[in-house]
Structure 1
Amino acid sequence: MDKRILDKIKKCLALAKSATNENEAAAAMRQAQALMNKHRISAEDVNMSNIEERRFAFGVNRVVNYQAKLLNLIIRAFGVEVVISRGFTGSDVRFIGVVPQPELAGYCWEVLFAKLKTERSNYVKQQPKQCKRATKVARGDQFALGWIYGVSQQVNDFALSESESALVAVYKAKHYPDLTDCKAMQRGKKANVGNAVSDGFCAGKKHSINRPVNGQSQQKLSMQ
């Protein structure tokens, strides 16, 4: 499907919707319909073109609890759906949603995940040498959960309209008909994690997600 033609159709439809002059609105609608008929593009095709998928490296074989929590935070913040795909060359995470949300969600994922991994790793290194490896891992995981909760305190949910949610659902059903749910792994259930959660919460509160506003979709969101 020619993106240039789709863009022309979208512009005509937008003009038809926003025009205050009835003749101008009608002319724009006729032009949109003519282009759709000529290029055999349906209204569903036009709507679905607003849905995109962005893929980013994940690199894990099994999703751990704190990684799933971070993905859920991004789902909330950007109104996207997430699919994790595993292949011979490794795994990736795919963000699906209305343009430009998947791109912004992916950028946030890359920045936040890198920061979280670094701070979790540093926290684990700070644990007493006499701690067992399993205890250090459990404390690191709990620190990460607290960290994510700290970040989430500054995030407002991004809500999709019913029609947008329906489009995303159609996209997923078409491109991922055999999806299965993935249960995240929780490690160190019986370990002594000390103050790891509160330590992580204090560290996470130092970071925030600033989304573009007033239609400034071309500006990257900033991470602090």
Structure 2
Amino acid sequence: MSAQQFDEKKLERAIRKIKHCLALAQSENENENENEAATALRQPQALMREYQLTDMDVKLSDVGEVESDLYRAKRRPWDQQLSIAVAAAFNCTTLRRRKWSSVKGQVIECATFVGVSLTQNIALYAYESLHTKLT
């Protein structure tokens, strides 16, 4: 059974618990209590076996993607440069996404931000705020 076959909510809960236990084990390692640290490591290892997760799966769970609601048939050069500058400022990546809009009846372009934890959300907010001011 692969990780994709598990209920998504249960999987997310398990990953949060794994992260919490690993953080607890790390803090207990700093306090040099080896028994408590070893105990704190057993639970995440068991959960990782149960859900067939690797260390990389746990690390990648922090990566997220958000898409701007601002779009055009073709993004202007300053708009693209703005998304690149904002992404660099917030340590994430920006992508130009093209997709079909059934409402507009044409292909539209919008900015997408990919980052770790909440950086992509902060970058999106900054981008949309600055874009509105520049427009």
Q: Secondary structure at the match of 1:106?
A: helix
Note the C-alpha offset of 1:53. Answer: 0.6
The count of aligned residue pairs is: 117
Question: What residue number does 2:96 align with?
Answer: 84
What are the within-5 Å matches in structure 2 for residues 142-221 of structure 1? Answer: none
Identify the match of residue 21 of structure 2 among 12, 34, 57.
12
Distance 1:60 1:50 in 2: 30
Q: Where does structure 1 lack aligned partners over 5 or more consecutive residues?
A: 118-224
Q: Secondary structure at the match of 1:11?
A: helix
Structure with the higher strand share, 1 or 2: 2
Q: Where does structure 2 lack aligned partners over 5 or more consecutive residues?
A: 1-7, 102-107
Contact 2:22 2:44 in 1 (8 A): yes
Q: Percent of aligned pairs with the same residue?
A: 34
Deviation digits for residues 94-126 of structure 1, max 9, x if unmatched? Answer: 110101100111111111111111xxxxxxxxx
- Please give the TM-score of this superposition, normalised by the length of structure 1: 0.50
Tell me which structure has the larger Cα radius of gyration.
Answer: 1
Identify the match of residue 96 of structure 1 among 93, 114, 117.
114
Contact 1:51 1:96 in 2 (8 A): yes
Asked whether 1:59 is paired with 2:71, we answer yes
RMSD: 1.3
